[in-house]
């Protein structure tokens, strides 16, 4: 860890200044938000001493940036290579970082679609009730009845190839679907990051915040 600390570059950010293009970032002091690079809506609030990983499970990802709040911030930044080198003997740590990045990727993609039109508290309440699922290229995506039968799926990145009652459908980033029948699914050529809702959650959200994108099929 001392080696990793020595490879960090530290940047002082004034209010609304930002940094991007990092493998991981760490808020040292002050306040900052994590956002997608093309959207101002926050994905998450940075927490002092909590690592913000940018690389998730899939090779294609949503680019993230760290934006200082009104009081400014000091942020430590690393490229991905030093992180991989320092933690190669601890693969479980790299897996945990990738899982955390997948969460950020999902939330970042959500702010780039219709959910980005919601106010932050409402959007956070919605996202906190959805489970993140990552599927690699062409990997089958189980939709167990007890989990999402008549539930909902929202594609954050990549695509999802589905068969619903024998009818083929392809969902792309930003598309959502309330599952009305038995469905089979697999990720597209670049994999997919999904947000999944169980049936009670889907019924509630499809009649409210997600009504415009969770059109029954």
Question: Is 138 among the domain residues?
Answer: yes
Q: How confident is the model at residue 36 (pLDDT cuts 50, 70, 90)?
A: very high
How far is Cα 99 from Cα 53, in angstroms, rounded to an integer?
A: 9
State pLDDT tens for residues 70-129: 999 999 999 999 999 888 889 999 999 999 999 999 999 989 877 888 888 888 888 998
Average pLDDT for 183-192 = 91
Question: Within 13 Å of residue 109, how many CA atoms lie on the same side as its CB?
Answer: 25
Average pLDDT for 183-190 = 90
Which helix (H) or strand (E) covers residue 110, if one does?
helix 91-112
- Is the same domain home to 107 and 165? no
State pLDDT tens for residues 122-156: 888 889 989 999 999 999 987 654 554 567 888 99
How far is Cα 199 from Cα 188, in angstroms, rounded to an integer?
A: 24
> Which of these three, 112, 142, 172, is where a domain ends?
112
Show the domain range for 35.
2-112
Question: Which tokens in the block code for residue 45?
Answer: 């609030």
Question: Is 211 among the domain residues?
Answer: no
Q: Is 158 helix (H, G, I), strand (E, B) or coil?
A: strand
CATH of the domain at 59: 2.60.120.10
Beta carbons of 77 and 52 less than 8 angstroms apart:
no
Q: How confident is the model at residue 24 (pLDDT cuts 50, 70, 90)?
A: very high
- Is the same domain home to 127 and 72? no
How far is Cα 23 from Cα 138, in angstroms, rounded to an integer?
A: 26
What is the count of structural domains for the chain? 2
């Amino acid at each position: 860890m001392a080696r990793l600390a020595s490879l960090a570059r530290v940047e002082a950010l004034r209010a609304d200044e930002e940094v991007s293009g990092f493998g991981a970032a760490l808020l040292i002091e002050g306040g900052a938000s994590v956002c997608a690079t093309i959207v101002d809506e926050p994905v998450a609030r940075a927490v002092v001493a909590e690592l913000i990983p940018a690389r998730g499970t899939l090779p294609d990802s949503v680019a993230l940036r760290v934006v200082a709040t009104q009081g400014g911030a000091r942020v430590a930044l690393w490229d991905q290579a030093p992180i991989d080198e320092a933690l190669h003997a601890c693969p479980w740590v790299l897996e945990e970082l990738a899982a955390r990045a997948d969460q950020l990727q999902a939330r970042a993609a959500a702010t780039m679609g219709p959910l980005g039109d919601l106010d932050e508290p409402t959007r956070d309440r919605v996202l906190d009730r959805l489970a993140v699922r990552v599927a690699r290229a062409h990997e089958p995506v189980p939709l167990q009845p007890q989990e999402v039968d008549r539930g909902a799926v929202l594609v954050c990145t990549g695509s999802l190839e589905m068969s619903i009652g024998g009818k083929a459908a392809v969902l792309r980033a930003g598309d959502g679907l309330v599952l009305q029948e038995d469905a089979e699914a697999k990720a597209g050529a670049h994999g997919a990051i999904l947000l999944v809702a169980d049936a009670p959650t889907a019924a509630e959200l499809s009649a409210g915040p997600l009504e415009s994108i969770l059109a029954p099929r």
